[in-house]
Amino acid sequence: MIVEERLRYTVKKRGKLFWQPTAEMRALGFEAKPLGDDTEKSRAEAKRLAASWDAARAELGTVSSYPPGTFGAYWDRMKGTKKEPSAWWTTKGVRTREDYERAWIYIDAWRPVDADGKQIGPTLSRTVITKVTTELCEHFFAHMVAAHSPSERWRAIKALKILLADAVVRLRLGYASPAAKLVNPQPKGRSAIWLGAQVEDLAATAAIAGFEGMSLAIETAWETMFSPVDVRTLRPRQLKHDGKGFYVQGNRGKTGKEMFASISDGLGAALTAYVERQGRAEADNSPIFRQRDGEAYRTKDTFGGDFRDVREIIFPGDTRQLLDIRRSANVEADAAGADKKTMGELLANGLADSKFLEETYTPPTVTKAREVAAQRIQGRAKLAGEVMRATNG
């Protein structure tokens, strides 16, 4: 069976093809046009016109690929474009943007089903925004609960609630958000930890398996206590050295707060050599860590994927994650009695619920980072001893 190629914005009437742009396209000067008999030449012209529209849409920047008035068109409006992101989107940190993008995948793909499980109507993203009802939101919620993990459900529904609440205000719809009454409890936080010796094994295994960038990233995550996104986006210019050794300085991608971390001379030298071996002119402006093919880790999926590959080699079946390293490092410091206020400053997450002025006038320092690094060594020994006692009964 030969399936006829679909031509966008083109209809066939009595054996002839006609180019029929949408109202949005006509507003940009694209006019209806007869293309003649259904021949290879007329089909080529239809493709050319469609390509011209794609180029015009890309140049315009704010034109959405979703039908005007739909939820998807509103999402595109909220984001803007890579060239000209919206004011709303520019306030979001790297991790927050990733969460929205990840949530949108579910919103974009889901469409309601009838009692027999047959898909009906447009996808949620292609539904006219004024026709997104409470019932539709409830069905989407039920789908997320049934088909995905609690964390994915929470992320998708959180984005849905925020976007629809925003639309009600911006578009002056005059009614409450249809997702307002969805109860979306946040999943219980993770509690898994890695021991220091296990982190060393992970890094060594990564290096042996050819994941040099991941090996150094694991070591960096362990010594700096940075979140995965802050490790993945680390730039060479953030690696610094003073009279007392190496340290890392930067701002959290999620909150923008300043962060410091002391790192060992061994890791500092290894990172310096790693960057030098790459021999790339853009080194100061692009991420340090690279995949095995030489490409930078630009998404959390590739970064997490390589970590899982390494974990499976040495700890098959283990479910602990790269993000658990940050918690594990904090547990070490806590075991040695590190001050919670200092830890909150270094982790840049308000661990001790410090007030705004305290955060403003008591910034984290390299000295504090080095004090915590020394305390972690003590805590590491205590934790290892507890594990040995538990193992030996």
The reported pLDDT for the residue numbered 95 is 78
Domain ranges across the chain: 10-60, 71-170, 196-392
Assess whether pLDDT exceeds 50 at residue 231.
yes
Task: Summarize the confidence of residues 353-357 as an average pLDDT.
Answer: 36
Which residues make beta-bridge pairs with 248?
Answer: 239, 261
Supply the pLDDT for residue 360.
31
275 Rama class: left (phi>0) / alpha (psi -120 to 50) / beta: alpha
Query: Is 253 a residue whose pLDDT tops 80?
Result: no
What tens digit of pLDDT does each residue of 6-17 get? Answer: 788 888 888 888
Taking the CA atoms of residue 382, residue 386, residue 388 and residue 389 in that order, the dihedral angle to the nearest 10 degrees is 130
Alpha helices, H only, 129-284: 134-147, 150-170, 196-208, 212-224, 228-232, 265-278
> How many Å apart are CA 197 and CA 371, to the nearest integer?
21
Q: What per-residue confidence (pLDDT) applies to 225?
A: 84
Among the ranges given (86-90, 133-137, 243-247), the one the predictor scored with the smallest mean pLDDT = 243-247
Q: What is the CA radius of gyration of the chain?
A: 26
Return d(Cα 381, Cα 385) in angstroms, integer.
Answer: 6
Structure confidence by residue, pLDDT tens digits, 265-318? 999 999 999 998 887 766 567 889 999 988 888 888 899 999 999 999 999 999
Domain 196-392: give its CATH code: 1.10.443.10
Rounded average pLDDT over 345-369: 44
Instruction: Find out whether 132 and 164 touch, Cβ atoms under 8 Å.
Output: yes
* Longest distance between any two alpha carbons in the chain, whole Å: 85
Q: Is the pTM of this model over 0.85?
A: no
pLDDT, residue 71, reads 94
Mean pLDDT for the stretch of residues 385-389? 54
Lowest mean pLDDT among 138-142, 263-267, 337-341, 389-393: 389-393
Amino acid 56: pLDDT: 63
Mean pLDDT is highest, among 5-9, 220-224, 345-349, for 220-224
Q: Mean pLDDT throughout 213-222?
A: 94
pLDDT in tens, 62-72: 456 788 889 99
- Span 231-242, average pLDDT: 88
Q: What pLDDT score was predicted for residue 281? A: 63
pLDDT digits (tens, 9 = 90+) for 99-122: 999 999 999 999 998 888 888 889
Mean pLDDT of the chain: 81
Taking phi over 0 as left and psi of -120 to 50 as alpha, with beta for the rest, 15 belongs to left
Q: Please indicate whether residue 186 or residue 201 has the higher confidence score (pLDDT).
A: 201
C-alpha to C-alpha distances, 127 to 111, 137, 246, 316, nearest whole angstrom: 9, 12, 54, 44
pLDDT for 105: 92
DSSP string, 284-345: GGS-S-B-TTS-B--SHHHHHHHHHHHHHHHSTT----TTHHHHHHHHHHHHTT--HHHHHH
Which of 328, 368, 330 shows the shortest CA–CA distance to 200? 328
What pLDDT does 173 receive? 87
For the cut 80, the answer to whether the pLDDT of residue 322 exceeds it is yes
Q: What is the mean pLDDT of residues 215-237?
A: 91
Q: Give residue for tokens 């293309």.
A: 35
Percent helix, strand and coil across the chain, each to the nearest 5: 55, 10, 35
240: tokens are 């610094």
Residue 248: per-residue pLDDT = 86
The pLDDT value recorded for residue 167 is: 92
Q: Does pLDDT of 219 surpass 90?
A: yes
Q: Highest mean pLDDT: which of 112-126, 139-153, 188-202? A: 139-153
**How far lies 275's CA from each of 123, 282, 286, 336, in Å?**
46, 11, 11, 34
Predicted confidence at residue 7, as pLDDT, reads: 83
Looking at residue 362, its pLDDT comes to: 33
